[in-house]
Each structure stands twice: as C-alpha cells, then as structure tokens.
Chains A and B, each alone.
Chain A
Amino acid sequence: MAKITESIRNEVREVVYGFFAEECEVDISRINDKTSIIKDLDGDSLMFLELIEIFKKKYDLDIELKVIGKYAVKHPVATIGQLIEMQLLIIEHENKLLELDK
C-alpha cells in the first residue's frame, strides 16, 4: 500500500504520456487527460498491460493481473486520464484493489 503523493501522481502521468507518445508516434503535446486511447491515439489493450508491467517494476508492486482484470471489467478505461487514475489505484491498493468495490 503506497500513499499517493503529488510527486507519484506527476510521475505516473509523465510515464503514461511518454509511453503513448512513443508507442503511438504522436507529439506529447497532443496528449491530455481527455485523449481517447483508441479513437485519438489508435492504441490497443495490450498497452494497458505493458504499462502495468512498467509500474509493477517501478514501484515493486504486489498485484496479480487477474485482480486488475476483474476490476477493469467493472471500471473500463477509455481515456488517458481514466488510465492514470486506474494506475494510481493499482499502486495504492495492489492486490486489495477489488475491496474498493465492496
């Protein structure tokens, strides 16, 4: 369980923006929290998994993919902002993510 500080929030945003700019070959200035991952960036669902792996390593997270999968079914992600919020929840709650829905 990590407490989400402003510094972590900024760091996650920076990684997510940079990742999509690099992978989708778009200028980072074209990306904001309302940007649609599929419609605006031509992204794919695999990118979400790749980002989880990046953050798992970066913050040494104890989280199983099936937990994220179950949570994502109820809380689908469409925009960059939603994806950042989801990543922050994963960092904060790790394997206890599903308890948020109780």
Chain B
Amino acid sequence: MAREVVITGMSLITSLGLTIEENWKSIINGKSGVKRITLFDPTNCATQIAAQVPDEFEALSKIWIKKRAASQMTRVTRMCMTAAKMAVANSGMNFDDTDRSKCGVIMGVVNTGNSSVEKNTTTQNTVFKSMTNAMPAWLSMEYQLTGPNFAVNTACASSAYAISLGYQMIKSGQSDVMIVGGADSIINPEEIRGFNALYALSVANDPPEQASKPFSKDRDGFVIGEGAGTIILESKEHALARKAHIHCEMAGCSITSEGYNIMAPMNDGEGMAFSIRKALENSGIQKEEVGYINAHGTSTELNDRFETMAIKKEFGELAYHIPISSSKSMLGHTIGAAGAIEAIITILALENGILPPTINYRIPDPDLDLDYIPNQSRKKEINVALSNSFGFGGHNAIIVLKK
C-alpha cells in the first residue's frame, strides 16, 4: 500500500505577524501587510512600498538562533531558521526518537538576501551569507539530520517545489520526515529597480495597503513581500506512531515546466492548466472534490488573466463554483517563500473552514469572472484545496491538500 504523507507542523513569518495565530487572524479579517518601505530609503525608486516583516522579528530570532550562528546568517536566513525551528516545535518532533538518516531538509531559496540592505556583512561571513544552500545546511546541523538536504531555486515556485520534492522523498520511502519550505526578501533597491524595469511591480504607492489588487481590473503589478514558511511533512505511519497532531494530508502535487518564456506564462494559461491537470492526476482527486484554490494571483495583468483561463480550461463549468483567492493581496509576493506561505494558508483554510479573501478587489474585469472571494473571508467547510505557484522561467507547481 502506498505511503500517505501528512502535515504535522507549520510556521509563518510574514508582514502580518510572526506566528500562525497572528497571521491567520489578520488574513481572515482581510488586513494588508503592505506599507512604505523602511528597510532603506525608497525615495528614488518608482515602487516605494512592500510587505515587510515587523521589526519584532529581531527579538524573536534571538530566542531561536544562537548569536554565533546568527552572525553568519543574513536576515532572510534567520527568518528561515526561526520559522523552521518554530515548525519543528509545532510538530512536537523529537529527533532523538527518530532515525535521523530518514529525516531531511529542502528549502526553496531564490537568494539569501545578502544585498545592499543587509547589515554586518564582513569579508569573513560573506560566503556563508551568500551560499544559497545555507538555509537547509544550518537546519541539518541544528538537528544533526543526515537525510537529503538541499536548496531548490525555481523562482516564485521555489518553496512549492521544495514541498513537492519533500512529498516525493517520503512517498518513495527514502525519508520519513522532511522539513520543507522557504524564505525570501527582495526588498532592496537593486531588485526593485530591476522589477520596475520589467513593469512587473505596482507603482500605486499611496495608499500602500491598496496596491496589491489581484484579479481586479485596475491591477498594475505585484507588490513585493518577504517572509518565511515551513512545513513538517511526515509519513502518516510515522506521525501516528508518535501520536502527532495531523493538520491535513498532502494528497499530491505536480512540478512542471512551460519551456516557453523567461517571464511570461504560456498564452491562454496552457502551461498552468497542464500543471493543474497533472496535480489532480497525481493525487487521484476528482475535479468535483476541489473546494478552494489558493491562486498564485500576483496582481499582474498576465498572471491573473492566464491563471483564470487555466482554471476554466481545467475545471470547465465547475470553475465558476470553486472559490479562489490570492493571499498576495494581503502579504504581497514573497517570491521564493510564496509557495510555502500560501500552502500553509491553504492548510489553515482546510482546518478552520474559513476561506481567506482577495482584498482590494474593487473593479471586476469582464474577462476575469470567477469567484475570487472578494474582500471578505467566507465560512465554508472544504475537503480538498489546491495551492498554485508559477515562477519566472516557466516553473509551475501545484500542491494538493486534503482534510
């Protein structure tokens, strides 16, 4: 009988808070974490807003990371480390009671955040701060884990890839426990100017909290967010043996490539639809079972249009009856961390029977006519949900979660 994979721990660090509880409360109340940038003076950037992690993170990270190790990590790596340790605590896992060779770490890492806004970088720590494998490496050292340990970079789908690969490690029997997720921040002048040059970012700076408006006709680009999300994946057998709390089951996933364009999704959402189809096939889930989709929903013209088309292509008439929302309307686009953060929000929706809203949905776009859960969360018991992630370069990942 095939091994089942369950989720036994999770944690969130975002602009809306440093705990699962804080985040969930703000999300279901439709709060925005977007503000004017304070990490540096953004006056000379066209985009001057972002969803920054609160300053209180510094105090929290000191609780979880020793000073010596922290001095060799960037702020983003510390976000990863802090979130991961909170997720392990949430899972109740004691690695002394587990075969460490069957435990591993996979993190979605686009970059480590060793940019011009990073503080205290020296010639002696710059290599450690820049190594894109630093996040999983620090975690394996923390818990002396000897199973698979690596970082994966598939742009905005990175941490969804990390979750998918962790799932496959457990499914195949190679691992019993996988710490998966990601952390990211590109809130620095270089990246903002780069994305501004691609016309990918919103420049609706005032008021900041209304700038990210996925699926709304007046959407004008994504808003950068930052943060970390970690999930503890475990074989069901292993979780039951240690009487762990099971948040939900990971029923399947897909990781696909569009092989098309470095920035734009395939026309008419063909590639996205293919990814959804493969995820449903992989998980053995029927279309009728899907009760909610946490969309990639970046608030860019093309993504939101093509993602809507992809959902219609794959679900047909059913698409009009599946509630869809974009967490990026509140948290901005957390890039490499987005897949994990949004998968966790999807798990919370399954657990709590509340679907998070798409805030700032003001003007319906005639071509985008699905149920985007506009502006207010909705009570609804669901059994199956999808979390979509699509990255620059055509990297797509869909996570299928089941109660």
Contacts and interface: CB of A to CB of B under 8 A. Distances in A.
Interface in A34-77: 42-44, 46-47, 49-50, 53
A46 B71 CA distance: 12
A49 to B, nearest CB: 7
Interface in B34-91: 66-68, 71-72
B94 interface: no
Contact of A50 (B66, B67, B124): B124
A23 interface: yes
Nearest to A24: B68
Contacts of B68: 23-25, 42-44, 47
Interface residues of B, number: 6
A25 B62 CA distance: 12
B124 A25 contact: no
Contacts of A44: 68
Classify the interface of chain A: helix, strand, loop or mixed: helix
B329 to A, nearest CB: 41
A49 B66 contact: no
Contacts of B71: 23
Contacts of A23: 67-68, 71
Contact of B66 (A42, A46, A47, A53): A42
Contacts of A24: 66, 68
B67 A46 contact: no
A24 B124 CA distance: 17
**Range, interface on chain A:** 10 to 19
Of listed B66, B68, B72, residue having the most chain A CB within 10 A: B68
Nearest to B125: A46
Contacts of A53: 124
Interface string B231-270: 0000000000000000000000000000000000000000
Nearest to B123: A53
Contacts of A50: 124
A23 B69 CA distance: 9
B60 to A, nearest CB: 17
A44 B72 CA distance: 11
Contacts of A43: 68
B126 to A, nearest CB: 12
Nearest to B68: A23
A75 B264 CA distance: 58
Contacts of A46: 72, 124
A40 to B, nearest CB: 14
Contacts of B72: 46
Interface of A: 23-25, 42-44, 46-47, 49-50, 53
12 contacts: A23-B67, A23-B71, A24-B68, A25-B67, A25-B68, A42-B68, A44-B68, A46-B72, A46-B124, A47-B68, A49-B124, A53-B124
Given A25-B66, A42-B66, 16 more contacts: A23-B67, A23-B68, A23-B71, A24-B66, A24-B68, A25-B67, A25-B68, A42-B68, A43-B68, A44-B68, A46-B72, A46-B124, A47-B68, A49-B124, A50-B124, A53-B124
Interface of B: 66-68, 71-72, 124
> Which 4 residue pairs spanning A and B have beta carbons closest together?
A23-B68, A25-B67, A24-B68, A25-B66
